[in-house]
Amino acid sequence: MQLWALGVASPRGSADFGRRAEAAGWHGMLVVDSQNLSGDSYVALAMAASVTERLGLGTGVTNNATRHPAVTASAIASIQKISGGRACLGIGRGDSALAHLGSAPARLRPFERYIEHLQTYLSGGAVALAESAVDPAIAPPVDDLGLADTPAQSRIQWLAGTTDADKVPVEVAATGPKVIGIGARHAERIMFTLGADPERLAWGIETAKAAAAAHGRDPESLSFGAYVNLACHPDPGTARNLVRGGLTTFARFSVMHGDISGPVDEGQSRVLHALHDRYDMNRHTRADSQQAEVLTPGFIDRYAIAGDPDTVLGRIEALAGLGLDKLAVSGPTVSARDPDAVAAIEHLNRSVLPHLQ
């Protein structure tokens, strides 16, 4: 099981974040891609790549609406080159990145088409100009210029000759069955946003395998991971409070449009519907938000991983037993300053990470 730390894309702080994460034994770092709330994700990853040697580097997550797929592919492939092959691309349909532009998450068909094109670009292949062209309302066709010649296809030329060994892997962040299916058809790994509840994650894995088989893909070729809210602290109440803010964001994905994805009991259903109705994007990820007030201790204990080192390690081992090989951890990080958060990351680094090396 790999543990990757999730953090903001800080133009100044990402190098230090990466250096400290590598020294502590983390397998990788992911940075959010939310242009109105943090710095540029690829600048942050480049900074971290320059001061680390083995740490994995990726987006957690980018989206298909704010960049052309050729731009995204070129950016993450650049990180792959300068890091010596340590990059991965996490992508979803967008949340805060789009909300701060006045939009909801991207529609499913454009999302799937984007990933198809992204995989083609990353493999060094070509996308037809009819599919890659910018919206003509923004820029007219290049043929209008009357040039002697123009590109016949859209290709990232410096990625020609890319092999499977050096291609950047794509990880689709998925909650509902339709996005899980898209990931099963096109991605190297599906990163579930279903919480840390084994029942829900088992459902996600079975949904993905069925979708892969229906598409003619070997289900065993898929890799699985999950975004989890995690805090390692000997006091259960403190651990719950440390994951509360981030948990509102990730739990909301399961009820984004009002209907709940995945199996839940009656208590979970009540909390998720209340979370949907009370979510204030202006206080996104905040533990002091009105949405955080609806999270009960029981919900937190099932949806997140919060507790002492033995509890945390046991929960991680249970998820590994399901077939997951990667956890993206949202919670106290190596850059924590609050005393409780500092204690939590120290417990995790000292008592949990060594068991996962």
> For position 114, which CATH number holds?
3.20.20.30
Q: What is the per-residue burial (b if ≥16 Cβ within 10 Å, else e) of 53-64?
A: eebbbbbbbbbb
- Spatial neighbors of 12 by CB under 8 A, at least 6 apart, are none
256 located within any domain: no
User: What is the rounded CA–CA span in Å between residue 191 and residue 187?
Assistant: 10
Per-residue model confidence (pLDDT) at position 158: 97
333 located within any domain: yes
DSSP string covering 19-73, please? HHHHHHT-SEEEE---TTTS--HHHHHHHHHTT-SS-EEEES-EESSSS-HHHHH
**In whole angstroms, how large is the CA radius of gyration of the chain?**
20
33 located within any domain: yes
61 preceded by a cis bond (ω within 30 of 0): yes
- Output phi, psi for 189, to 5 deg: -140, 145
206 located within any domain: yes
187 located within any domain: yes
Q: Where are the alpha helices (DSSP H) in the chain?
A: 14-24, 41-49, 69-83, 96-99, 108-122, 129-132, 177-186, 198-214, 236-252, 266-278, 297-303, 309-322, 339-351
Q: How many other C-beta atoms lie within 10 A of the C-beta of residue 91?
A: 27
Tens of pLDDT along the chain (357 residues) come to: 999 999 999 999 999 999 999 999 999 999 999 999 999 999 999 999 999 999 999 999 999 999 999 999 999 999 999 999 999 999 999 999 999 999 999 999 999 999 999 999 999 999 999 999 999 999 999 999 999 999 999 999 999 999 999 999 999 999 999 999 999 999 999 999 999 999 999 999 999 999 999 999 999 999 999 999 999 999 999 999 999 999 999 999 999 999 999 999 999 999 999 999 999 999 999 999 999 999 999 999 999 999 999 999 999 999 999 999 999 999 998 888 899 999 999 999 999 999 998
Tell me how many domains the chain contains.
Answer: 1
User: Residue 329 in contact with residue 60, Cβ under 8 Å?
Assistant: no
Per-residue model confidence (pLDDT) at position 357: 81
Structure tokens at 19: 């250096």
DSSP 8-state assignment for residue 248: H
Per-residue model confidence (pLDDT) at position 333: 86
- Output phi, psi for 346, to 5 deg: -65, -40
16 located within any domain: yes
Per-residue model confidence (pLDDT) at position 336: 85
59 located within any domain: yes
Per-residue model confidence (pLDDT) at position 271: 96
User: Residue 79 in contact with residue 85, Cβ under 8 Å?
Assistant: no
Per-residue model confidence (pLDDT) at position 207: 98
CA distances from 172 to 24, 35, 80, 113 (A): 27, 20, 18, 13
Give me the domain span that covers residue 127: 2-137+153-235+311-356
Per-residue model confidence (pLDDT) at position 330: 95
324 located within any domain: yes
Q: pTM of the full predicted structure?
A: 0.96
